[in-house]
Amino acid sequence: MKRALAAATLVGMMALAGCDRPATSPETPAAKAAAFAHDLPEDVSGYYIPTEEVRIDNWRLHHVFMGQVPDFIAWEGGERPSGFAPVMIEFEDMVGPPLESGKRRRLRLIPAAYDVTEDRVRVQALSGGLGGVSFDGKLDQGALATARRNLGDRGVVLKGTLKVGNRTFNNVSMRWWAGD
């Protein structure tokens, strides 16, 4: 009986101590889990490349990348390898000098939050140079299936709104590419 009373008292004290803290902190596991969600019965992995240039000052949207379902599961389970996430937005520097390899410098944005389903892609990121970046788009599974069968084509697979800082780009259309 004394142990039960002591345990109840300890739990009560811990609950009261927690009252001074915010209910949801970005550091809590529950908050992290809520920020990252997927519901994908199919594989949507690949590179989604704009069909028309989207440019913000010297930066051009290069692609949105989506990994395979196990990548989403691992990320949401807390595995966070440096420089990789199951959803990433990448920009390319169109003004700066090329790198030694001849390629242009790129800016890869790791998400602060995402929600990806079989027909919707929502991702939010933060970049020191570009500010807040978000993409909210509709994924066309029929067009994606066609593109995958054809190993990529020019058809629109993903279409949505890109926000970069205080600028909004509506109807950003993207085609699918499997990558190298």
- Burial 125-151, CB ≥16 within 10 A → b, else e: bebeebeebbbebebbeebbeebbeee
pLDDT at 8: 37
Domain-located, residue 21: no
pLDDT at 4: 37
| Beta pairing, strands 111-117 & 36-39 | parallel
Domain-located, residue 17: no
Domain-located, residue 148: yes
d(CA 67, CA 18): 37
Helix (H) or strand (E) holding 146: helix 141-149
Q: What is the pTM of this model?
A: 0.79
Domain-located, residue 166: yes
Domain-located, residue 2: no
Domain-located, residue 10: no
Host domain of residue 45? 26-177
d(CA 45, CA 62): 16
The one-digit pLDDT tens for each residue of the chain (180 residues) are 333 333 333 333 333 333 333 333 344 444 555 699 999 988 999 999 999 999 999 999 999 999 999 999 999 999 999 999 999 999 999 998 888 888 888 999 999 999 999 999 999 998 878 899 999 999 999 999 999 998 877 799 999 999 999 999 999 999 999 887
Domain-located, residue 115: yes
Domain-located, residue 93: yes
Residue pLDDT, tens place only, 151-180? 877 799 999 999 999 999 999 999 999 887
pLDDT at 20: 34
Number of domains in the chain: 1
